[in-house]
Amino acid sequence: MTLYQIKPAFQALLRPLMFWLYKHRVTANHITLAAMVLSFITGAVLMVFPHPGLFILLPIVLFVRMALNALDGMLARECHQKSRLGAILNETGDVLSDIALYLPFLMLPNSHVPLVLIMLFCAAMTEFCGVLAQTINGIRSYAGPLGKSDRALFFGAWGLALAIWPQLVQWNNAVWWGATVLLLWTVINRCRSALRDEGGK
């Protein structure tokens, strides 16, 4: 079970807002770009002011970003706004936004910089392997355990914990190690999903 599997219920809550945005001529690409800008600004603030208390921004921004990501997909599908540019913005935006939001972790005390960079590389690889599956069999893989939405919950929860209990920074590297293992597991699962689906044809 991943958060991606409860996405339809989340989308149902957002549908009235989607119709309002469509009525006011807001496009899926506008929403995608807004999510990227929000992520970049938040990441920049946390890089410049890497105080544990400010990481309370992470769960808030990650939730808003998740809602924006859902809205851009709904506008694209339900309001006939799919485009090649939109697909490019969506995939690159996810990776760049993840990097922008999670890169500030390396500025925190007790964070091993190479470990954070490895973790970010693995996060990017999960998205790459998801798209790779689509090139193999036409089906994008969203296999877990640490897909985009699950990462948002994982790192958002850790950001909240750090804001409330700053002394938890001593456990940062343990969290980064755990996340890296889960990300590698996700990479493997997405590759296996592509191969399994291909073999079933």
In percent, the amount of the chain with pLDDT more than 70 equals 95
Say which amino acid occupies 8: P
At residue 200, the pLDDT reads: 42
User: pLDDT, tens digit, for every residue of 132-156?
Assistant: 999 898 889 999 999 999 999 999 9
Instruction: Map out the domains of the chain as residue ranges.
Output: 3-199
Question: CATH number of the domain at 3-199, please?
Answer: 1.20.120.1760
At residue 199, the pLDDT reads: 47
Task: Report the pLDDT averaged over residues 90-116.
Answer: 97
Residue 180: both structure tokens together: 């890296």
At residue 6, the pLDDT reads: 78
At residue 39, the pLDDT reads: 98
What value does the mean pLDDT of the chain take?
A: 94
